[in-house]
């Protein structure tokens, strides 16, 4: 059988292009450049603050997201493996795309630049969750290639022009990634997706998925607070609000999961996913003065909405609109992200100049002039509209591109199945060369003699 080399050739071609593009357009930041004699105390402080939070985000992207998607009983390799591939690919591509919109000359590479690339990878991995086990590897790469371009444009519009506050990426990352992935999923509906027995979990696969949940749960305060790390007051508020929101969503998820089950039992799907919804819901308001009570209320509502989504919304979407959502990203990232965006609108509307110190206000709402918070509220709402529009339209167009005949699609008989793309057992491995008939067989390893014929 002739090997299909399209995937390998495409992947290597992209990597070669990246190498040349980085050679021409990317350089170290001033602090890290070889011509820098010594870094200042402030530079050292910035690195000491940012690098630990960058590592936390890094762990979330590669371990948290990867293992969270291992719940499928026959797609564990694909979940962790393609998660690693897509994240490594997007980190390179996102720096180029984001830099092309913001850099005046060459793109400067720093810890903050790489951390923002991690955030872009998070959006792509959320979309990956919507189509987990449905698209082929080459389709996933093309999806990531196009999604990062749309992501960069959306981020540029709502951050650089609308000046919205979205410190934890509820809009930029979570809502965008969820609705982009769902839009792609609509374009790849298959009848075999209905009640497919391979789209199920088993005891040990759910345990592996809980590893991802726990890593995400632990490091989510860093995810929401990383970009505010340079200002200790705002950063501490981000961490505190996120923690209280995510603990509240965990409690709510356990409670509602038991309530909606006929026998009063808990669903591992809800524990794995809905317990994290508070982290998403806190994203757009983590740096605001919600107060501990407000953070707990936000997290509780997010947990309830997420569990209800898994129980009622996902089946309705699949049945009525042919929207297949393997990981339920709409329930974990989509609805809690939109909820967070609406809360950010309300909080901006009722903010006052005395809520923050002038220094804090310059960080949280740098473009509020003369106490005009109504304008900020309008921009927050516009940011939500732009994000939903770009993600859905971009996802639909990407889904159409992925249906092109020259892009290999997944075999409908191998949905949610590793064996199509991975060596999964001994039968997949290359067969050894046949033994020469005249050769003398080796003695068994256990020391027994070979019986004569």
Domain ranges of the chain: 17-28+50-409
Residue 35 — very low, low, confident or very high, per pLDDT cuts 50/70/90? low
What average pLDDT score do residues 317-329 get? 95
pLDDT at 229 over 90: no
Q: With contact defined as beta carbons under 8 Å apart, do 246 and 217 qualify?
A: yes
**CA dihedral over 220, 224, 228, 234, signed as positive or negative:** negative
What pLDDT digit, counting tens, does each position of 70-107 carry?
999 999 999 999 999 999 999 999 999 999 998 788 99
| 109 strand-pairing partners | 28
Assign domain 17-28+50-409 one CATH number from 3.40.50.1110, 1.10.3430.10, 1.20.1260.10, 1.10.3720.10: 1.10.3430.10
- What does the pLDDT read at residue 447? 43
Q: For 102-111, 253-262, 335-344, which range has the lowest pLDDT when averaged over its residues?
A: 102-111
Distance CA 140, CA 132 (A): 10
- What does the pLDDT read at residue 63? 98
Q: What is the three-class DSSP state of 349?
A: helix
Q: With contact defined as beta carbons under 8 Å apart, do 250 and 278 qualify?
A: yes
Q: Which residue has the higher pLDDT, 452 or 213?
A: 213
Mean pLDDT score across all residues of the chain? 90
- What does the pLDDT read at residue 323? 95
Q: With contact defined as beta carbons under 8 Å apart, do 80 and 66 qualify?
A: yes
pLDDT at 392 over 90: yes
- What does the pLDDT read at residue 440? 45
What average pLDDT score do residues 317-334 get? 96
- What does the pLDDT read at residue 250? 98
pLDDT at 115 over 70: yes
378: Cβ–Cβ under 8 A, 6 or more apart, which residues?
A: none
Residue 245 — very low, low, confident or very high, per pLDDT cuts 50/70/90? very high
Residue 429 — very low, low, confident or very high, per pLDDT cuts 50/70/90? low
Q: What is the three-class DSSP state of 22?
A: helix
What average pLDDT score do residues 171-179 get? 98
- What does the pLDDT read at residue 430? 54
Task: Output the six-digit token pair for 19.
Answer: 């190498």
296: Cβ–Cβ under 8 A, 6 or more apart, which residues?
A: 244, 245, 247, 248
| 3-state DSSP percent of the chain in helix, strand and coil, to 5 | 70, 0, 30
Q: What are phi and psi of 28, to 5 degrees?
A: -65, 150
- What does the pLDDT read at residue 54? 95
pLDDT at 312 over 70: yes
Q: For 94-103, 105-114, 419-428, which range has the lowest pLDDT when averaged over its residues?
A: 419-428
Residue 371 — very low, low, confident or very high, per pLDDT cuts 50/70/90? confident
pLDDT at 444 over 50: no
Q: For 19-33, 129-143, 317-331, 421-435, which range has the lowest pLDDT when averaged over its residues?
A: 421-435
pLDDT at 11 over 60: yes
What average pLDDT score do residues 200-206 get? 95
Instruction: List helix spans (H) across 60-202.
Output: 65-68, 76-102, 111-130, 137-155, 176-186
What average pLDDT score do residues 101-129 get? 94
Minimal CA–CA distance to 227: which of 352, 56, 344, 367? 56
**Distances, alpha carbon 137 to alpha carbons 88, 183, 312, in Å:** 14, 18, 31
Q: What is the three-class DSSP state of 416?
A: coil
Distance CA 239, CA 327 (A): 27
pLDDT at 412 over 70: yes
Q: Largest Cα–Cα distance of the chain, in whole Å? A: 99
Residue 452 — very low, low, confident or very high, per pLDDT cuts 50/70/90? very low
Q: With contact defined as beta carbons under 8 Å apart, do 134 and 188 qualify?
A: yes
Quote the percentage of the chain above a pLDDT of 70: 91
Q: What is the three-class DSSP state of 309?
A: helix
pLDDT at 436 over 60: no
Angle at 280 between CA 352 and CA 62, to 5 degrees: 135
pTM of the model: 0.92
What average pLDDT score do residues 186-209 get? 92
């Amino acid at each position: 059988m002739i090997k299909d080399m399209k995937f390998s050739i495409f992947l290597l071609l992209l990597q070669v292009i990246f190498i040349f593009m980085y050679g021409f357009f990317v350089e170290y930041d001033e602090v890290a450049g070889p011509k820098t004699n010594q870094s200042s105390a402030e530079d050292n402080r910035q690195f000491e603050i940012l690098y630990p939070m960058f590592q936390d985000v890094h762990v979330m992207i590669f371990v948290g997201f990867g293992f969270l998607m291992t719940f499928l009983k026959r797609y564990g390799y694909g979940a962790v493996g393609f998660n690693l591939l897509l994240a490594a690919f997007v980190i390179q591509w996102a720096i180029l795309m984001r830099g092309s919109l913001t850099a005046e000359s060459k793109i400067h590479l720093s810890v903050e630049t790489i951390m923002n690339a991690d955030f872009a990878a998070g959006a792509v991995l959320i979309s990956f969750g919507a189509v987990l086990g449905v698209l082929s590897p080459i389709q996933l790469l093309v999806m990531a290639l196009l999604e990062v371009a749309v992501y960069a444009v959306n981020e540029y519009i709502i951050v650089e022009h609308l000046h919205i506050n979205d410190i934890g990426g509820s809009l930029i990352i979570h809502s965008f990634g969820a609705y982009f992935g769902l839009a792609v999923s609509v374009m790849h509906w298959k009848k075999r997706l209905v009640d497919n027995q391979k789209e199920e979990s088993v005891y040990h696969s759910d345990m592996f998925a809980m590893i991802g949940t726990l890593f995400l749960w632990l490091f989510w305060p860093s995810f929401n607070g990383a970009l505010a790390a340079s200002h200790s007051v705002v950063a501490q508020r981000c961490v505190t609000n996120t923690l209280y929101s995510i603990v509240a969503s965990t409690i709510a998820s356990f409670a509602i999961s038991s309530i909606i089950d006929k026998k009063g039992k808990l669903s591992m799907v809800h524990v794995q996913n809905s317990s994290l919804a508070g982290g998403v819901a806190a994203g757009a308001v983590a740096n605001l003065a919600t107060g501990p009570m407000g953070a707990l209320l936000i997290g509780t509502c997010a947990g309830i909405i997420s569990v209800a989504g898994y129980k009622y919304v996902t089946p309705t979407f699949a049945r009525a609109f042919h929207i297949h959502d393997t990981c339920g990203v709409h329930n974990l990232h989509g609805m809690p992200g939109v909820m967070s965006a609406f809360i950010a609108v309300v909080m901006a509307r009722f903010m006052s100049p005395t809520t923050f110190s002038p220094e804090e206000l310059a960080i949280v709402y740098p473009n509020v002039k003369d106490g005009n918070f109504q304008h900020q509220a309008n921009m927050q709402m516009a940011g939500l509209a732009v994000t939903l529009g770009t993600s859905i339209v971009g996802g639909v167009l990407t889904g159409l591109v992925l249906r092109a005949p020259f892009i290999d699609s997944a075999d409908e008989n191998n949905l949610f199945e590793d064996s199509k793309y991975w060596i999964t057992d001994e039968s997949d491995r290359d067969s050894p060369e046949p033994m020469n008939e005249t050769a003398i067989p080796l003695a068994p390893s256990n020391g027994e003699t070979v019986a004569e014929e």
